[in-house]
C-alpha cells in the first residue's frame, strides 16, 4: 500500500488537498483547517522541489499541522478575562469611588451604567484609591468587584 502511495501521490495532490482544506475552512470559520491547508500546500511545494517519499511527506504534514494548531491556541486564541463564572460583559465599565478603598478592604463605587443590574457596588482594589477617583472594573468576584484607577 505504501509503495502504491509513494508512486501515485504527486506534489500537486498535496496542493489540491491544501486548497480543498482552505475552502472547507472558509465555510466553517474555525481556523483549524487553515493550518492544515497551509501545511499541505507547503508539503506540496517542498515535494515539487525535493522529491521525497509519501511517508516523509505525511510526517512533515502532520508535524506542521500540529505546530499550526498549537500556535493558534497559544497566540491567537482570545484569553479569558475571569474564571469566576460571572458575566464579563461589563468589564472596563467606568465608575466613581464613593467610599475610599484600601488594599484588602471594601469601599463603594457607583458605576455610570448598571453592572449585573446594579449601579452601586462594594469594591476592592490592590492599591488604595481615594474618594471621587475614576475607576474601571478589573474582575468580578461573586458579589465583590475589583477595580483599579483609570
**pLDDT(88) > 60:** no
Residue 64 exposure: Cα atoms within 13 Å on the Cβ side: 20
Higher pLDDT, 83 or 9: 9
Same domain membership, residue 11 and residue 71: yes
For residue 82, tell me if it sits in a domain.
no
For residue 121, tell me if it sits in a domain.
yes
**pLDDT(81) > 60:** no
pLDDT given at position 66: 95
Total number of domains in the chain: 2
Residue with cell 504534514: 61
Task: Note down the domain range covering 12.
Answer: 2-76
pTM, two decimal places: 0.52
For residue 84, tell me if it sits in a domain.
no
**pLDDT(89) > 50:** yes
Same domain membership, residue 103 and residue 68: no
Distant-in-sequence, close-in-space partners of 111: CB < 8 Å, separation ≥ 6? 93, 94, 95, 119, 120, 121, 137
Tens-digit pLDDT profile for residues 93-124 = 899 999 999 998 999 999 988 887 788 889 99
Amino acid at each position: 500500500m505504501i509503495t502504491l502511495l509513494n508512486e501515485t501521490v504527486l506534489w500537486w495532490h498535496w496542493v489540491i488537498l491544501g486548497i480543498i482544506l482552505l475552502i472547507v475552512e472558509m465555510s466553517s470559520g474555525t481556523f483549524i483547517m487553515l493550518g492544515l491547508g497551509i501545511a499541505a500546500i507547503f508539503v506540496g511545494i517542498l515535494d515539487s522541489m525535493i522529491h521525497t517519499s509519501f511517508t516523509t511527506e505525511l510526517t512533515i504534514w502532520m508535524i506542521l499541522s500540529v505546530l499550526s494548531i498549537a500556535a493558534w491556541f497559544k497566540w491567537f486564541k482570545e484569553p479569558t478575562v475571569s474564571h469566576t463564572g460571572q458575566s464579563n460583559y461589563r468589564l472596563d465599565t467606568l465608575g466613581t469611588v464613593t467610599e475610599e478603598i484600601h488594599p484588602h478592604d471594601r469601599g463603594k463605587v457607583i458605576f455610570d451604567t448598571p453592572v449585573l443590574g446594579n449601579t452601586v457596588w462594594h469594591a476592592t482594589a490592590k492599591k488604595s484609591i481615594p474618594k471621587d477617583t475614576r475607576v474601571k472594573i478589573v474582575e468580578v468576584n461573586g458579589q465583590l468587584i475589583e477595580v483599579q484607577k483609570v
